[in-house]
Every structure is written in structure tokens, then in C-alpha cells.
Amino acid sequence: MSCGCGKNENQGDKVSPTHGHCVCEAVRFIKRLQDTHQDDDCFDCDTDCFMRPLGSLVSPANERFNTRVFSLLTEDGDFFKAMYRPATVTPAGSRSGTVTPPNTCFSVFFRVQNIFDDCCATLMVLEPRDANGPVNLFDCGKLCLDRLCQVTEFRATKSCITVDLNCFCAIQCITDTYVTQCPPATT
């Protein structure tokens, strides 16, 4: 199989939904894993999307987990990005207005919410964060790869995107974590 929305590498035809697609199958597995939390075997690759149980991508696994964070790559090898509405923050002691962290409305990190119709999925866009708050992954509209390494935490957003998983060439699982399903209120 080659990249390009599930095309067969020899014929250029669309792959039959009954034959599967590796990105789709990985996301389908992640969804089942997030829903079941069952123990199983260990694997050598410490970021393999098919590792069980949820929490296997973190060492030591002494926390509770409900999310396997992942990124998707497009046909040309670029990270797939999606926009989200950042939570607004009211500074302590402030009587008026709110402050929104600047330039932090795009992410390449996702949590699967639902899979349907052969290989479509609803993904929650996760806010990338470090110990100091949101991490701006982009500079002048371009992804800054060095900033990806600064991300140590993820926060749920109220933004979801529906995608055709057959249109991605690769998936990279990042970590297992607990993501509060009720994102901070926006004003």
C-alpha cells in the first residue's frame, strides 16, 4: 500500500474497505484500547500504537490513563494539524476581560473520540503544553519541530475534527496520559 488516501501501489486504485488500512486499523485499536484498559503482552518498541495496556507508553505506569495521544502524517510526510479554540484565562484579581495565550490555536496531537463508516473518525484536538502552559508549535504558520520536543502535557479542547483515516500515510503514538474530558470553560 502506498500513501495517497488508501491507493493500491500497483494499480492506483482505491483500497477496498474490507482489506483495511494501517492508519485506520491503528486508530481503531487505540479507540478499543481507550475503551477497555486491559492488560496484555509487552512489546519492544516503546511507542508502538498497538501496545497494551493503556499506560504502556509511559514508564513507570503508576497513573491512571484514558488517552493514547497520537499524531498523523500526510502523504508528503508533514504532520497533520488542526485548529482549536484555546481556553481563555482570567488573570487572578482581574475584574474585566480575559487573556488568551497568543498563537496557540493549532495542534498536531489528537485523541480518538469515535470511529465510524469504514474509516472515518472524530478526533479531539489536544492542546500541547509544558509545565508553564500552552506550547506554540508554529512560527509564522510553519511547524517548528524543536517545539514538539518541549511538549510534556496535553489538555482536552472543545474542538473536534472528523477525518477520513484512509487519507493519512502514517500514525505516530506519542504517549499515554489522562486527559480530563471536560476542558476548561471558555468565555
Res 60: pLDDT? 62
Res 79: pLDDT? 97
Per-residue exposure over 62-88, b if at least 16 CB sit within 10 Å of its own CB, e if not: eeebbbbbbbbbbeeeebbbbebebbe
Query: Is residue 147 within a helix (H) or strand (E), and if so which, with residue range?
Result: helix 145-148
Res 138: pLDDT? 93
| Cα distance between the two ends of the chain | 46
Contact 20, 162 (CB under 8 A): no
Q: Report d(CA 172, CA 132) in Å as an integer.
A: 25
Q: Report d(CA 145, CA 172) in Å as an integer.
A: 15
- Distances in whole angstroms, Cα of residue 25 to Cα of each of 14, 22, 174: 16, 5, 17
Cβ neighbors of 97 (< 8 A, separation 6 or more) are 90
Res 51: pLDDT? 75
Res 140: pLDDT? 87
Mapped onto helix, strand or coil, the DSSP state of residue 18 is helix
pLDDT < 50 stretches in the chain: 1-11, 13-18, 38-43
Encode pLDDT of 100-133 as tens digits: 555 578 999 999 999 998 899 999 999 999 999 9
Among the listed residues 72, 57, 68, the one whose alpha carbon sits nearest the alpha carbon of residue 31: 68
pTM for this prediction = 0.76
Residue 99 DSSP class: B
* DSSP string for residues in 44-96: SSTT-TT-SSTTTTSSS--S---EEEEEEE-TTSPBP-EE--PPPBPPTT--S
Contact 66, 31 (CB under 8 A): no
